[in-house]
């Protein structure tokens, strides 16, 4: 019995040790711990590559003219019903008018009375007249009966025509009132856009901004590190980009170079926690998720992870589109995904799904946009993200530059690999340092502005 208890105790101790080791291993994987000293040294080296950041203030909307209330879906649906009803009423009117005209043609002709004989002594003529008069009286009686019946039909049809015309007038009035409401909305929207676009308001549309952006925002070049996210936020990056994979229900931030080493990765929850702790200025932040093997990621998994963002940072406004303005998203995190992860009702897990027409955002690699025609418009219809090529340096094509992307294509986001310190990156940061904002209205970035930035490149750090 004693030997049995001893064996049982040793077995229990052995199993406990295995469980502890497994838990510690899982903690290392989930937290992306790897070698903490190596990660710290690596992060210190990255930080040391940067000159001290120029602290740029948050973007300030001077004034916000209120958006006119949208015409409700119920009103639009009712208007479509009214239009259909008007079509049916007009069709009915044509039918009844046709029946009226057809019935009117059925009115009998009034019989002509026979002429009286002029010679009262002409008995044959008198007898013939008497016979014709008898026939006339019979025909007149028939005419009166038929005329009354037809007239009744005409009166009924005339009543229907008047009723239909009255209904048409009522429906047309509803349609006219709706059209007047639409015109008022269009006029109010034009005033709304005019005032918000004015420099006295500076409440521009999102598609009218050039935004300081980073690519692979948690990557140091060797590890994923949540401190890298903090560093970029503090340097003014307001577009953060993460490559996301799913492993056993946990979403990890990764890179192709460390895809097989989970200890060098961090969880998306870790990255979001840093954003929670760092965001204090009120600038909106775009969080771009490049989902790998998206079919393995469920709505509940992605949504529950994104809900790690503090509630006050989550965007809950109207769907973001090409008309969304800065005042509508200030202080919020806008989540973007390259795939539409939806629940059963069709609701997306993220605020924006890239490359869907209704969401107003499209993405390109820089080598792709180089083959597109430059826009001749003063602005674009959609927000545009131009990412680095999958491999190689950001500007593999020497003819492509931030200057050209902004001037010719009105690009809003050109995410940079901040873990690769290059002259291109220094010039990129100088743009925002010189303009003293992470959000720059594209209309201020003209040839003259870029010429000045190039001239000042040696003195602005």
Mean pLDDT of the region 48-68: 85
Note the maximum CA span of the chain.
161
Tokens standing for residue 131: 């016979």
Residues 3-24 pLDDT 10s? 666 666 666 776 766 655 554 4
Q: What is the CA radius of gyration of the chain?
A: 40
pLDDT of residue 454: 84
The pTM of this model reads 0.77
pLDDT of residue 394: 46
Residues 88-123 pLDDT 10s? 999 999 999 999 898 887 666 766 777 777 766 666
pLDDT of residue 390: 64
Confidence of residue 418 (pLDDT cuts 50, 70, 90): very high
Confidence of residue 31 (pLDDT cuts 50, 70, 90): very low
Residues 137-159 pLDDT 10s? 777 677 777 778 878 888 999 99
Dist. CA 461–CA 458, nearest whole Å:
8
| Side-chain half-sphere CA neighbours of 396 within 13 A | 13
- What distance, in Å, lies between the first and last C-alpha atoms of the chain? 79
Closest Cα to residue 233, out of 269, 290, 268, 275?
Answer: 275
Beta-strand relationship, 266-267 and 209-211: unpaired
Q: In what helix (H) or strand (E) does residue 250 lie, and over which residues does it extend?
A: strand 250-254
Residues 363 and 385: beta-carbon distance below 8 Å: yes
pLDDT at 173 over 90: yes
pLDDT of residue 29: 41
Task: Decide: residue 421, CB within 10 A, 0-12 exposed, 13-18 middle, 19+ buried.
Answer: middle
Domain 42-63+204-455 in CATH: superfamily?
A: Phosphatidylinositol (PI) phosphodiesterase (3.20.20.190)
What does the domain layout of the chain look like in residue ranges? Answer: 42-63+204-455, 73-197
Mean predicted lDDT score pLDDT of the chain:
86
Dist. CA 108–CA 145, nearest whole Å:
10
């Amino acid at each position: 019995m004693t030997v049995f208890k001893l064996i049982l105790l040793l077995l229990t101790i052995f199993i406990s040790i295995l469980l502890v080791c497994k838990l510690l291993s899982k903690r290392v994987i989930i937290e992306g711990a790897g070698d903490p000293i190596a990660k710290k040294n690596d992060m210190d080296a990255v930080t040391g590559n940067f000159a001290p950041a120029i602290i740029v203030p948050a973007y300030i909307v001077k004034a916000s003219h209120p958006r006119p209330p949208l015409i409700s879906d119920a009103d639009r649906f009712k208007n479509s019903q009214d239009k259909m009803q008007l079509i049916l009423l007009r069709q009915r009117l044509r039918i009844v008018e046709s029946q009226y005209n057809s019935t009117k043609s059925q009115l009998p002709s009034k019989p002509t009375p026979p002429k009286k004989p002029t010679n009262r002594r002409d008995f044959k003529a008198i007898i013939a007249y008497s016979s014709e008069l008898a026939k006339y009286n019979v025909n007149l009686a028939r005419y009166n009966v038929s005329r009354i019946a037809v007239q009744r039909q005409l009166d009924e049809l005339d009543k229907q025509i008047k009723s239909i015309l009255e209904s048409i007038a009522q429906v047309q009035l509803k349609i006219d009132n709706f059209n007047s409401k639409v015109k008022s909305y269009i006029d109010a929207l034009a005033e709304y856009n005019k005032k918000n676009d004015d420099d006295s308001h500076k409440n521009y549309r999102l598609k009218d901004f050039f935004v300081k952006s980073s690519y692979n925002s948690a990557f140091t070049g060797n590890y994923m590190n949540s401190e890298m996210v903090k560093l970029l936020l503090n340097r003014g990056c307001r577009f953060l980009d993460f490559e996301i994979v799913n492993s056993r229900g946990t979403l990890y931030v990764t890179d192709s170079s460390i895809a097989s080493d989970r200890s060098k990765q961090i969880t998306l929850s870790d990255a979001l926690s840093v954003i929670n702790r760092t965001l204090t200025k009120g600038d909106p932040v775009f969080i771009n998720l490049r989902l790998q093997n998206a079919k393995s990621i469920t709505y509940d998994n992605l949504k529950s992870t994104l809900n790690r963002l503090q509630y006050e940072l989550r965007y809950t406004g109207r769907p973001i589109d090409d008309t969304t303005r800065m005042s509508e998203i200030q202080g919020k995190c806008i989540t973007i995904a390259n795939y539409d992860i939806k629940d059963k009702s069709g609701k997306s897990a993220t605020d924006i799904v890239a490359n869907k027409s209704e969401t107003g955002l499209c993405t390109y690699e820089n080598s792709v946009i180089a083959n597109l025609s430059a826009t001749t418009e003063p602005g674009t219809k959609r927000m545009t993200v131009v990412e680095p090529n999958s491999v190689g340096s950001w500007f593999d094509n020497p003819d492509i530059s931030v200057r050209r992307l902004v001037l010719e294509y009105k690009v809003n986001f050109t995410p940079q690999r901040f873990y690769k310190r290059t002259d291109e990156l220094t010039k990129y940061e100088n743009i925002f340092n010189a303009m003293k904002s992470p959000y720059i209205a594209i209309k201020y970035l003209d040839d003259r502005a870029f010429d000045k930035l190039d001239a000042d490149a040696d003195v602005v750090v």
